[in-house]
Amino acid sequence: MAALEEAIKAVKNCCGVTSIDISPILADPGLFAQACDDIYQMYEREVFDIIITTKLSGTVFAAALAARMGKGLIITTCVKPTDGYLTEEIEGNSSSFSVGMPEGFIRKGTKAVVVVDQISHGRDIKAAINMVEKQGGTVIKVSGFVEVSEINARKKAIKGYPVESRLFTEDF
């Protein structure tokens, strides 16, 4: 983990919130493998059916985990309400927009996990959870490689769900 921590830098994003640039980890095959192993260890003993991720919070680690565990992957993304998609409205800082996922892949009793690269506001994660639950599924865990501590999505948007992250912005 020390090598991962040395490779990253805390930066201020366009909104002035501290974020972590994971580009050096993604660019280095050894560090990327180590980061993927860290995410895998969060789930190697979990029993679930499918992985959900959000395009807004990053899909890299969810895709790697899905491939390693032989699980399906559903990516929620910004979408205009349309047939065949379940959508949720998200209130952003200055506007609202819809995110959606294809219908039919979540059935009653499906156990899902939400895996993202970065947990920040958590609004897109909460929307994904809502869409899973509307279709009769259950989200058993949420994880991120990085969590933006100062926003505190754990206690706001995704309160009540088990959350695990590997790195926190407060540590940088």
Give the residue with greater pLDDT, 171 vs 104. 104
Averaged pLDDT, 66-82: 93
Averaged pLDDT, 49-77: 96
Q: How confident is the model at residue 50 (pLDDT cuts 50, 70, 90)?
A: very high
Residue 128 has pLDDT above 80, yes or no: yes
Residue 1 has pLDDT above 70, yes or no: no
Which pLDDT score, from 0 to 100, does residue 18 have? 72
> Over the Cα atoms of the chain, what is R_g?
16
Q: Which domains are present in the chain? A: 46-165 (3.40.50.2020)
Residue 13 has pLDDT above 80, yes or no: no
Return the SS3 of 3: helix
Phi, psi of 16 (to 5 degrees): 85, 10
Which pLDDT score, from 0 to 100, does residue 60 have? 97
Q: How confident is the model at residue 36 (pLDDT cuts 50, 70, 90)?
A: very high
Mean pLDDT, the chain, whole residue set: 91
Residue 93 has pLDDT above 80, yes or no: no
